[in-house]
Amino acid sequence: MARILLVEDDPALSRGIIALLKAAGHAADSAKDGETALFLADAEPCSLVILDIGLPGISGFEVIKRLRTRGCKTPILVLTARDHVTDRVKGLDLGADDYLAKPFELSELEARARALIRRSHRHEQTKTACGPLEYDSVDHSFRLDGESLALTPRERAVLEVLILRNGRAINKETLSEKIFGIDESVNPDAIEIYVYRLRKKLERSGVAIVTLRGLGYLLEAKQEPAAAGA
């Protein structure tokens, strides 16, 4: 799961891309103009910015320039109807990481987004473990006792947040903010439902999701019972 910011002023295209990203299990936020994009990029760190160049007000080129000037290293995938070489070169020179000309296939957009996110994690530690549960941040997969753990996109998103907390608790509100988009309507009981489902999938394993009153949820490895006579 990754948090992705889409900056696109075409409502129909924006809805289609957001639906695609959410179906893939990502938290997706959207902005219709450059000013909103810059605000959201500061307010909520993300793993990828998908950015249209032809925006009202501040252009996409200016958004790239300001983000990079601020020290933002988030990968940027540029979308544009401008297919001139000079425009592509300008975007890349300003700090964009990839370029996709309109019209495009959504499947290609999704593939490029995956590649950019994967590339950004290349020099990071990719595997995290909690007892017998192992998470690989490159392909966002979980293995339990060496076997692949089947999860829905939302279940995977919740479990990713928990395992990356390194034994620190997280409350329900913060967990919800991390896995859902800012403008996404969320059932107040959604997190509890996903945690319940995950507990069922993890039961009788060596790892559990614990509820700490007043603090939230914590992923922890179960303690092995002491051997008799030890």
pLDDT more than 70, % of the chain: 91
Asked if 8 and 162 touch (Cβ cutoff 8 Å), the reply is: no
pLDDT, tens digit, for every residue of 98-125? 999 888 999 999 999 988 988 876 655 5
Q: What is the pLDDT of residue 22?
A: 86
pTM > 0.75: yes or no: no
Average pLDDT of the chain? Answer: 86
And the tokens for 16? 């289609």
Q: pLDDT grade, residue 83 (50/70/90)? A: low
Q: Which residues pair with 122 in a beta bridge?
A: none
Average pLDDT over residues 92-103: 91
Asked if 41 and 74 touch (Cβ cutoff 8 Å), the reply is: yes
Question: CA-based angle 181:184:186, to the nearest 5?
Answer: 110
Average pLDDT over residues 46-55: 92
CATH superfamily for domain 3-120: Response regulator (3.40.50.2300)
pLDDT more than 90, % of the chain: 47
Q: What is the pLDDT of residue 227?
A: 46
pLDDT, tens digit, for every residue of 148-166? 999 998 899 899 999 988 7
Domain boundaries, the chain: 3-120, 127-221
Q: Do 127-221 and 3-120 fall under one CATH topology?
A: no
Average pLDDT over residues 12-25: 90
pLDDT greater at residue 140 or residue 31: 31
Q: What is the pLDDT of residue 27?
A: 85
Q: What is the pLDDT of residue 108?
A: 93
CATH number of 127-221: 1.10.10.10
Distances (CA, A) of 39 to 5, 70, 95, 154: 11, 12, 19, 26
Residue 69 has pLDDT above 60, yes or no: yes
Distance CA 38, CA 67 (A): 7
pLDDT greater at residue 36 or residue 186: 36
Asked if 153 and 25 touch (Cβ cutoff 8 Å), the reply is: yes
Decide the pairing of beta strands 98-101 and 48-52: unpaired
Q: pLDDT grade, residue 226 (50/70/90)? A: very low
